[in-house]
Amino acid sequence: MTEEKKEEKKEETPQEEKEIPKEPVSPSEDSEYKVPEIKSGMVVRVHQKIKELDAKGKTKERIQVFEGMVIAHHAGLEQGATFTVRKITKKGGVAVEKIFPLYLPTITKIEIVKKHKVRRSKLYFLRGKYKKKMKETKE
């Protein structure tokens, strides 16, 4: 009686198929541009495609450039990685912050303009009334 139960259990369990583990493909290989190593304290120019509607109703595509300092970088080079760029406008000194996903398909290029020497990974103290200038690193 126990032998019959064992045989039934063997018949019910499906044969396990061995899955071949695939090597993880980094998102940087899939994208058109190579993502530079972005760290906080860098001044970057982010070129992003934007679609707009004309007065006639046609869609136009243009590239908008957002230049500012990277104040935070999250998740390294993973799929969900983001970086925060803060810029201060010349007129009125209004600060604007944008959070960009690192592998956003609309980003065409990321240029590194300057590098500053920083001791923190998150530069949120720049949001307040911080007056000191940061030291640029020479390459």
Residue 129 forms part of a structural domain: no
Maximum C-alpha span of the chain: 88
Most trustworthy range by pLDDT among 105-109, 126-130, 133-137: 105-109
Task: Taking residues 23-30, report their average pLDDT.
Answer: 46
Whole-angstrom distance, CA of residue 12 vs CA of residue 87: 64
Q: Kind and range of the H or E element at 47?
A: strand 42-53
- Which domain range does residue 102 map to? 31-117
For residue 107, what is the domain's CATH number?
A: 2.30.30.790
Task: Taking residues 45-62, report their average pLDDT.
Answer: 95
According to DSSP, residue 29 is labeled: H
Residue 76 forms part of a structural domain: yes
pLDDT in tens, 56-101: 999 999 999 999 999 999 999 999 999 999 999 999 889 999 999 9
Residue 87 forms part of a structural domain: yes
Q: How many domains in the chain? A: 1
Residue 111 forms part of a structural domain: yes
